[in-house]
A and B are shown apart, each in its own frame.
Chain A
Amino acid sequence: MSILELQRVSKVYGRGAAEVHALDRITLSVDEGAMVAVMGPSGSGKSTLLTIAGSLEDPTEGEVRVRGAALADMSRNDKARLRRRTIGYVFQDYNLLPGLTAAENVSLPLELDGLPARKARATGLAALRDLGLAERAERYPDQLSGGERQRVAIARAVVGERRLLLADEPSGALDSANAEAVMRMVHDACKNGGMAAVVVTHDAQLASWADRVVFLRDGRITDQTAPVPEAESLLTPGGQQ
């Protein structure tokens, strides 16, 4: 089942001589369980694609559907509910609220969505535990390392019934071990948790965790990778060496 669908989505900023085509007729579909990476140089439209997919911005043209529902047909309240309930966001700079503990940060979107505080907290703690952060639950963001903060942000993005994970350079500020841990989590959320993920990055090592890598240039999808073959092919004699 397709979780996210973009049909000929364009985004134009400014008018006349100052007109900038940030996205140009993007068509992209991400199924349940799939992880798609979007690579491209800065200014290629990667972040715009993510904000439009996440209903934070409207496209100039084209259609965006999340779990089959067209965003254009939704009211502001519908979209806000979609963002609280279905979509999880992860940013490079974590965006955790400093005055809340890790557990409070993770359960906040559930509470905002109307879940009773006690139930929201239990669900939040379970998400932290799944990501190996149970012992960090009562710490504040400034008491956590960068890697831990980003893992808390991922817990917040996958908590509850979320189906779509949107990540913008999620491991940009992390060392390679923590970056790998973060990508493994995103990958597992798709494979085991049935989510769909779109990860925007300029880093090929991170993109290599995805099932499919889409290349963006000047607002257009110019290329994408073929499905990944069986892993063993590289390890057999006569294979790629």
Chain B
Amino acid sequence: MSVRHALLALLSEGPKYGLQLREEFEARTGEVWPLNVGQVYTTLQRLERDGLVESEGADDGPQKAFQITTSGAAELATWLRTPPDLSSPPRDELVMKILVAIRLPGTDVPELVQAHRRYLVQLMQEWTRIKEGAADDDLSLALAVDAELFRLDSVVRWLDAADARLKRAAADGQARPARAPLPKQRRHIGARG
């Protein structure tokens, strides 16, 4: 989450004070991402240094209001349209754990997969409780919680697929496929970037 761009977005509505920005940030993100006030002021200082916001009022206290500049508005518009970095090679920690586990003698891989699945489903239950308790008109919270649920769900589905794949491999007598050297081409998967 880019705090920098979120603050620019809030300032595009008009000049605001630091404390006000913090409150509005938390309200707009459904209070899913707590933000401390120090973070707000540090970010504002950097935005000012880069010419993306300017301050009104001489003193540095809470009475100092900030407003977005023309280049700040341009920066915000560019950021909204820039795709997040989803193209990096897979270095997911959970994927690594499972890859290590299938090579490690004496590891009960299905049990390990299940332990991670249980943890993820429990986390999803907690998010669903939040959604359940949210007011009907709290659109920000619903969107933020949905995003979290879909992300966790995709990991559970990967575990399900891994489970099925490992079961098939075991049935085919290839329980430890990684013992054999990998073909040269495959060794480079994940080596980009």
Q: Do A and B come from one complex?
A: yes
A contacts, CB < 8 Å to B: 39, 41, 184, 187, 202-205, 207-210, 213, 215, 217, 222-226, 228-229, 231-237, 240-241
Tell me if A's interface is mostly helix, strand, loop or mixed: mixed
Number of B residues whose C-beta is below 8 Å from A? 32
- B127 lies within 8 A of A208 (CB): yes
- The answer to whether B20 has its CB under 8 Å from any CB of chain A is no
CA distance in complex: A241, B122 (Å)? 14
What are the residues of chain B within 8 A of A241 when measuring CB–CB? 33
- B121 lies within 8 A of A225 (CB): yes
In the complex, what's the smallest C-beta–C-beta distance from A42 to chain B, in angstroms?
10
Closest to A212 in B: B125
- The answer to whether B178 has its CB under 8 Å from any CB of chain A is no
What are the residues of chain B within 8 A of A204 when measuring CB–CB? 120-121, 124, 152-153, 156-157
CA distance in complex: A202, B160 (Å)? 9
- The answer to whether B170 has its CB under 8 Å from any CB of chain A is no
Q: A208-B149, A235-B130 are in contact. Are A240 and B36 (CB under 8 A)?
A: no
What are the residues of chain B within 8 A of A232 when measuring CB–CB? 130
What are the residues of chain B within 8 A of A233 when measuring CB–CB? 126
- B160 lies within 8 A of A41 (CB): yes
Closest to B36 in A: A237
Given contacts A205-B149, A225-B125, 9 further A-B contacts (CB under 8 A): A39-B121, A208-B127, A213-B122, A225-B122, A226-B122, A228-B122, A233-B126, A235-B34, A237-B34
Q: State which residues 114-161 of B face A: CB under 8 Å.
A: 114-115, 117-118, 120-130, 132-133, 149-150, 152-153, 156-157, 160
Q: A205-B153, A208-B149 are in contact. Are A225 and B127 (CB under 8 A)?
A: no
CA distance in complex: A231, B30 (Å)? 14
- B118 lies within 8 A of A225 (CB): yes
What are the residues of chain B within 8 A of A231 when measuring CB–CB? 126, 129-130, 132-133
- B125 lies within 8 A of A187 (CB): no
- The answer to whether B164 has its CB under 8 Å from any CB of chain A is yes
CA distance in complex: A205, B36 (Å)? 31
- The answer to whether B77 has its CB under 8 Å from any CB of chain A is no
- The answer to whether B94 has its CB under 8 Å from any CB of chain A is no
CA distance in complex: A236, B32 (Å)? 8
- The answer to whether B56 has its CB under 8 Å from any CB of chain A is no
CA distance in complex: A232, B134 (Å)? 11
- A213 lies within 8 A of B153 (CB): no
3 smallest A-B Cβ distances: which pairs? Answer: A208-B124, A231-B129, A208-B128
